[in-house]
């Protein structure tokens, strides 16, 4: 795998990133450390986490993932210099009153304090890529579809205020580069415009969902990011497990399954739990098998080969899953298969949006 540069930053990363949100919930510390070791051995030097993790978010597991990573760094001091470490500050509360008291805003002081808290949990002096997990602005995200132009009920911090907080962290040497997550084309454009206008840190990345059942980024965001030199980090490339084929037969209530959609009732209420999402996933999974591939191979190869994706974030709970996901890097997507993928999309249009 050839390293890729993130935006206009000096960060060079592997085109596969190890996501860690299962660490501290489905994955305990010993297994997490073994997975991290294995990923690094196989050439994965990019690790993504967040203050909010583990997932599904709970008061009891807030910060647990970062602590597990910090323990890994402490036990293996040489590892920190071998990886590019990304983390995220949570946006305004989405029912999580344990994060900044359930604040509906994300102020400059909140960003600075959150970063300092993450540094302590991670046992490091610097976070290579620090991201705002979701916008402060009331925009469609996490399954909502339509923008509401009505003024928000409460005032919220401006993009420039957030950028100035990130600039402070960069100036203090606590952060190397900055990014966004769950953002819109307008948001990306404004962050870049204001940064360039005020001489503030330019965002290097946007971490958004991207997979066969959610290709919303292909509709305008890809053009914006291409022209502004901002890199896409694709999360949920397997559609929360729907694109592995595990739910094809018994659905989410199959007692044989141990995936997130089977274990956590709240996940079934989200975009990945829509009947339309499962129907589309089944169509893609069937296509994979018709072409001699596993569903996982097709879903990951699609992301790995997409011109607009800089690095694909994989999440695993077993060593076998990690190896399978990395092995999929060598799977090609030819013109015939690519056309068949697009044909399914015409019928099942981004149901997990």
| Residues annotated as part of the active site | 53
The CA distance from 143 to 139, in Å, is 11
Paired with 211 in beta bridges are 214
Contact of 20 with 85, CB cutoff 8 Å: no
Contact of 94 with 136, CB cutoff 8 Å: no
| Burial class of 27 by CB neighbour count within 10 A (0 to 12, 13 to 18, 19+) | buried
Token pair 């890809």 in the structure block, residue: 222
What is the DSSP code string of 117-162? HHHHHHT-S-EEEEEESS-SS----TT------SPPSS----HHHH
CA-angle at 286, arms to 284 and 289, nearest 5°: 110
The CA distance from 246 to 190, in Å, is 40
The CA distance from 40 to 225, in Å, is 29
């Amino acid at each position: 795998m050839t390293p890729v540069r993130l935006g206009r930053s000096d960060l060079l990363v592997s085109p596969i990133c190890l996501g860690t949100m299962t660490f501290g919930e489905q994955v305990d510390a010993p297994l997490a450390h073994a997975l991290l070791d294995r990923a690094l051995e196989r050439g994965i030097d990019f690790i993504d986490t967040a203050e909010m993790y583990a997932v599904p978010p709970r008061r009891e597991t807030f910060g647990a993932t970062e602590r597990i990573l910090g323990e890994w760094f402490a036990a293996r001091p040489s590892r920190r210099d071998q990886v590019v470490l990304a983390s995220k500050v949570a946006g305004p509360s989405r029912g999580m009153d344990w994060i900044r008291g359930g604040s509906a805003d994300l102020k400059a002081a909140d960003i600075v304090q959150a970063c300092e808290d993450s540094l302590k949990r991670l046992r490091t002096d610097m976070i290579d890529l620090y991201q705002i997990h979701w916008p402060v602005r009331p925009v469609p995200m996490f399954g909502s579809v339509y923008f509401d132009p009505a003024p928000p009920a409460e005032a919220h911090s401006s993009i420039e205020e957030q950028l100035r907080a990130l600039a402070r962290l960069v100036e203090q040497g606590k952060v190397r580069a900055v990014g966004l997550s769950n953002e819109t084309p307008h948001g990306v454009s404004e962050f870049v415009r204001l940064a360039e206008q005020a001489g503030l840190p330019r965002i290097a990345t946007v971490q958004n969902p991207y997979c066969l059942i959610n290709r919303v980024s292909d509709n305008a965001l890809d053009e914006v990011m291409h022209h502004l030199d901002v890199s896409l980090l694709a999360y949920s490339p397997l559609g929360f497990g729907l694109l592995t084929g595990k739910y094809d037969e018994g659905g989410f209530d199959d007692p044989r399954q141990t995936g997130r959609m089977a274990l956590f009732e709240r996940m079934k209420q989200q975009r990945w739990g829509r009947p339309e999402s499962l129907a589309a996933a089944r169509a893609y999974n069937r296509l994979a098998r018709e072409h001699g591939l596993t569903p996982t191979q097709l879903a990951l190869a699609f992301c790995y080969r997409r011109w607009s994706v800089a690095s694909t974030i994989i999440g695993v709970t077993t060593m076998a899953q990690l190896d399978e996901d990395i092995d999929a890097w060598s799977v090609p997507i030819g013109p015939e298969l690519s056309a068949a993928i697009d044909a399914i999309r015409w019928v099942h249009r981004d149901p997990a949006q």
